[in-house]
Structures are given as C-alpha cells and as structure tokens.
Amino acid sequence: MYTTLLSLHSIFRWLVVLGVLYTLYRAYSGMFGKRSFDPADAKTRKYTVIAAHIQLVLGLALYFLSPITKYFMSNFSAAVKVRDIRFYGMEHAIVMVLAIALITIGSAISKKKTDDHAKFKALAIWFTIAVILVLLMTPWPFSPFSSKPFFRF
Ligand code: HEM
C-alpha cells in the first residue's frame, strides 16, 4: 500500500507540474496575445486542479503511512532536528498544501471573472506563485532538501 501510494505520488507530480506550467503558458500567451479564453483554456485549468487535488489526497494518505512521517510524529523533538525527516514531516507537507490551495483559489477566481483578460490574469498570478512553491518543495534528485528519483515504479 505504502509503496503503491509513493509511486502514484511520484508519477502525479509530473501531471501537476506539467499541468500548472501548461496552464501558465496558455494564461500568459492569452493575456499578452489578447486572445479569447476558449474551452481548451477552461479544460486545462480544470484538469490541472483535479490533478493537484488527487496529489493532495495521495500526499495526505502517505503522510499517515510513510515510515518517515510516522517517525516524525512519534519522535517530534529529535526528528525536527534531522533535515530529511523534517522536510517531509513539515516543510514539504505544509508548503504543498498551501500551493494546492493557491491553485484552487486561482482557478476559482479565474472561473468567476467574466472578462477574458481578467480570467488569464488571475491564472497567471495565482499559478505563478504556486508553481514556484511546488518546484522548490519537490524532492528532485538535485534538491538540497531531499533527493528522490524522477520516476518511481
Ligand atoms: C503539488 C504537490 C506535491 C508534489 C509535487 C509532491 C511531490 C512529491 C515527491 C516527488 C515525493 C517523492 C516520491 C518518491 O519518493 O519517489 C514526495 C514524497 C512525499 N510527499 Fe509529496 N508532493 C506534493 C504534495 C504533498 C502533500 C500535500 C503531502 C502531505 C500533506 C505530501 C506528503 C508527502 C510525503 C509524506 C512524502 C514522503 C514519503 C516517503 O518517502 O516516505 N506531498 N512528494
């Protein structure tokens, strides 16, 4: 169960990262190119939010199954001093929940706007902040916080 969730969480990272980047590409090009917000923009936004929410559920489930976070919760005062353990116990979990909240809020604001430029602008602002947090807090193989593989099957 744990290893399956870990693999799914690892794979879904790509859907979230690529989804947010593609939504941003469409938002900036739409905003500066002054084109109208079409159904493909709405679909990209919607599927990115769905991928982010699935990643949130997988992450929350992992939080209670991972030996790292279990150790963190039961040995807090010692574990908080170990960077790799603290990263998953606190930093990764908190910042990613925040990033997914920003994606959700940005998407909802964009959806409510009636003007096309305002729709693109809301996505551009909220998703830009979210993608910075996601890219910083993902344990890439070269990450200074914790190094994990690009793919885990
Ligand atoms: C956009 C959001 C997120 C991305 C891109 C992401 C990405 C990742 C990646 C790439 C890993 C390493 C997987 C591996 O070992 O191959 C990981 C591990 C982990 N993530 Fe996330 N994550 C996100 C959100 C969350 C959230 C919201 C939580 C919890 C609330 C969470 C909890 C965890 C835990 C506990 C692990 C470590 C599991 C272990 O190694 O035992 N993640 N995450």
Please tell me if the CB atom of residue 62 comes closer than 6 angstroms to any atom of ligand 1.
yes
Instruction: Tell me the pTM.
Output: 0.95
Nearest CA to ligand 1 atom 33: 59
HEC letters along the chain: CHHHHHHHHHHHHHHHHHHHHHHHHHHHHHHHCCCCCCHHHHHHHHHHHHHHHHHHHHHHHHHHHCHHHHHHHHCHHHHCCCHHHHHHHHHHHHHHHHHHHHHHHHHHHHHHCCCHHHHHHHHHHHHHHHHHHHHHHCCCCCCCCCCCCCCCC
pLDDT score for 36: 97
pLDDT score for 153: 86
Domain ranges of the chain: 2-137
pLDDT tens, residue by residue, 101-135: 999 999 999 999 999 999 999 999 999 999 999 99
pLDDT score for 56: 98
Residues of the chain with pLDDT under 50: none
Mutate which of 1, 7, 9 for ligand 1? The one with the most ligand atoms within 8 Å of its CB, which is 9
Please tell me if the CB atom of residue 139 comes closer than 6 angstroms to any atom of ligand 1.
yes
